[in-house]
Amino acid sequence: MTADCSRALRTPSPGGHRKHSGFGVEEPIDTSVHAYLGGPVHRIGIVVGVVSLALAVSAPIAASAAHAPGLDPLGTTTEKPVIVQHADPQRPIIAVSHRGAAGHAPENTLAGLDAARRFGAQTVEIDVRQTRDGELVLLHDVTLTRTTDVEEVFPDRESHQVADYTLAEVRRLDAGSWFSPEFAGEPVPTLGEALDRMEELDLNLFLEIKEPDRYPGIEKEITAELFTRPIWLEHNPPWEPRRLVVQSFDWEATRSSKRMLPSVPHALLGRVPENRLADFTWAHMVNPNHTTVNADYVELLHEHGFETMPYTVNSRAGMDAVLRMGADGFITDYPDAGQRAIRDFLGDEGRDGAPDQAATPLLPVPLVPVLH
């Protein structure tokens, strides 16, 4: 099947959003979770069944579990009937705003989240690491060197790894001046602060767990943090972008997170070999580097029931290329440029006879040239 034929099968719904073709009914995930609870997107028809949800949660998680769907607030193993409906999704194609809005503001900061919304993003991606005292913070690199003034504030410290600093010490750092003087004094935010700001801004989230092997138990801590804010475990309507996706390059840690958050879609970062796709039926997405994929690989992902949003696409030519491949979206430092590329792409499809996807209105900002 050609990329054009594959795209034609995923025809837009009457409401203007794209509908994927079905490829059969998904099997249960680890005997506990079905596709409706955030698994892959194999789907035709409606299935009603009983699924055994077994989840042991720790005390901080259990304290909030009473407010979250599908979990026993006592942290015990129970069997609960679940009505599972495998329905065609109608998700829009989106440009996920990378590290907040890394092309417009210092990455992984509250200012970056503000910029993402200002430049028209619906969904943002952030990176999460852990401090020495176990606090979850937004940071891409293993060290604080590139994006803060840690060397000036702590000139006598040999290590600049965030795992060697307490949250109180990280709070003393300037995470904005490296990007531009106008962001001087911007702090490194905690995950909790970022979740609250994104809720205020009505932004959806791709949460990347960075190098979890460096922070044993970080998946559990992230789960606990999310349960203190149960709105993040609620699902958006099927015609909107997904509320929350958890992803990592560490696929075992991703699976561990999936077991703790069975109702949340999880994504594998990187290119999964073709002969291993069947090993990851518990995952919902495969998000590879955009330079490593082509239309055949995207089609294969869809045939296996995965969505795909390649990273990090900062040129207009690259955006146009992944859209022509049939990707479900892409991750970019420039959400404004990304949304324009999607709007133009769907406009071209509309002129060929398919309805346009309803696009989020963009603010009147110029198309920013891609510098990196």
Q: Catalytic positions, please?
A: 98, 140
Per-position DSSP letters for 46-67, written without gaps between them: -------------HHHHHHHTT
- Spatial separation of the C-alpha atoms in residues 266 and 251, rounded to whole Å: 10
**Neighbour count for residue 137 (Cβ, 10 Å):** 25
Q: Hey, what are 201's tokens?
A: 């801004």
- Spatial separation of the C-alpha atoms in residues 86 and 104, rounded to whole Å: 39
Rg, Å, the chain Cα set:
20
Q: Hey, what are 203's tokens?
A: 């932004």
Instruction: Go through 314-349 and write b for each residue having 16 or more CB atoms within 10 A of its CB, e for each that does not.
Output: bebebbbbbbebbbbbbbbbbbbbbbbbbbebbeeb
- Give helix 316-325 / helix 335-351 axis angle, nearest 10°: 50
- Spatial separation of the C-alpha atoms in residues 300 and 288, rounded to whole Å: 13
- Spatial separation of the C-alpha atoms in residues 2 and 11, rounded to whole Å: 15
- In 3-state terms, what secondary structure has residue 266? strand
